[in-house]
Amino acid sequence: MKKFFLIVGVMLWSAHSFAKAPVCSISPMNDAAKWMQNEGIVAREDLDSSKTKINLLASEKKINTDKTIKKKFIYTNIYKFVFYDDDGKSYQVITKTNSFKLPKNEIDCPYDFSEIYFVSKDNL
């Protein structure tokens, strides 16, 4: 019986910890696709957006030090995107972006440009 409560407690605790992460992946995903096109890696029109995989790797809530934004906290979000082109090739990209909360607990998408790190290109 103790094991049951321990397992349930761990499951509830881990679900609670994931619930706080702000989610706003559209802007960093678009930044990454645009960056890959500008670098000559792949054209945006060759990417199949329906196959794109999005994974929020980390989110950190920090006290805002930027005086141009009138919010107490900002969030640094680290995303991993896996893009696929029409030929089945995959492109892995990591982005780092800052965002902040709007009233009613909505997350405003990034207020700055994403830092983009190209990880790999794989032929499938």
> Which tens digits make up the pLDDT trace of 15-74?
444 434 456 788 889 999 999 999 999 999 999 989 999 999 998 888 878 777 777 788
Burial of 80 (0-12, 13-18, 19+ CB in 10 A): middle
In angstroms, the CA 29 to CA 55 distance is 11
Dihedral of alpha carbons 100, 21, 54, 50, sign: negative
Position 107 scores a pLDDT of 58
Position 55 scores a pLDDT of 93
Q: Do residues 110 and 60 touch, judged by C-beta distance below 8 A?
A: no
Burial of 55 (0-12, 13-18, 19+ CB in 10 A): exposed
Average pLDDT, whole number, for the chain? 78
pTM over 0.85: no
40-46-48-54 Cα dihedral, nearest 10 degrees: 10
Reported confidence tier of residue 92, pLDDT bands at 50, 70, 90: very high
Position 26 scores a pLDDT of 84
